[in-house]
Amino acid sequence: MPLGSIELQVTVGSPPAQKMILVKFLIVDQPLAYNAIFGRTAQAELKVVTSIPHLSMKFPTENGVGVVRGEQKAARKWSPTGDLEDVVIGPQNRKLRVSAQLPTTEKKKLVEYLWDHIDVFAWEHNEMPGIDPSVIEHQLNVDRNCRPVKQRKRTFAPERNQAIADKVRKLLKAGFIREVDYPE
């Protein structure tokens, strides 16, 4: 149970790409991996895009894109180790993996929490509309002075070809990629 709550003015990012917002924090007496956790309300207000593998979150500011990075060493300390087990959440029986070493009561609490916050997950590309390309966009680092070289066509096993085609179809449908036609 929370001991109380407090509203604090929080500055996120580094100058000049930073934002100040008012955040309401719940106060709990629990040993946690973090000193503070930004909830969905603060993330929505900041218009955050997160990258879990990179332990970073980006958000638009008046002076460009702000970035907050986590600490790899601290994150590894709290990452699940050993065997993982599948848990099913949501009305569509989606699978997530959690540590098999979690005590039963903790695992039950975690699964309940995930069920309660199922609306946060994006299971498909098309469930992430409206991300401003200035916040997150991949670009190829191509030297314009180099002449283009046509790669030879690669062949894959039929099941891999099907998996590739399915993935490309999903990305096209979601508008994440587009077809480009070159004469050769």
Using alpha carbons, select from 57, 73, 60 the residue that is nearest to residue 17. Answer: 60
Using alpha carbons, select from 81, 50, 66, 65 the residue that is nearest to residue 10. Answer: 66
Q: Between these two residues, 98 and 128, which has the higher pLDDT value? A: 98
Task: Give the per-residue pLDDT at 162.
Answer: 94
* pLDDT tens digits along 14-59: 999 999 999 998 888 877 767 777 788 899 999 999 888 888 999 9
Domain ranges in the chain?
Answer: 1-70
Peptide bond into 60 cis (omega under 30): no
Query: Does the pTM exceed 0.75?
Result: no
Reported as type and span, the H/E element at residue 163 is helix 158-174
- In the 8-state DSSP scheme, what is residue 118? G
Spatial separation of the C-alpha atoms in residues 61 and 46, rounded to whole Å: 9
